[in-house]
Amino acid sequence: MSKAVFERLQLLLFNTLLENLPDHDERVDIDKEIEKQTGKYCDEGVKHLTDETLKEIVERVRRRKKKVEVYA
């Protein structure tokens, strides 16, 4: 898990843009999504994302996780 991403997620939580911090598995997937979307390593890529975009990534990862849990 990227330290830079974790710090940004904590800021989103502090600013009430997130209800709670993602768990470890979600954070790993968030790192992958950041890398996919920015084309850069997650520590560098997260610097190029707005808070809203990062929030959307978190929500997308959580929706995907819920969908997998429903079908499991």
Long-range contacts formed by 58-63: CB under 8 A, 24+ apart = 58/9, 58/12, 58/18, 58/22, 58/26, 58/30, 60/33, 61/22, 61/26, 61/29, 61/30, 61/33, 62/22, 62/26
Q: Please check whether residue 35 is in contact with residue 45, taking contact to mean a CB–CB distance below 8 angstroms.
A: yes
pLDDT of residue 72: 57
Predicted local distance difference test score (pLDDT) of residue 2: 84
pTM of the predicted protein model: 0.85
Q: How confident is the model at residue 71 (pLDDT cuts 50, 70, 90)?
A: low
For 9-59, the pLDDT digits (tens) are: 999 998 888 889 999 999 999 999 999 999 999 999 999 999 999 999 999
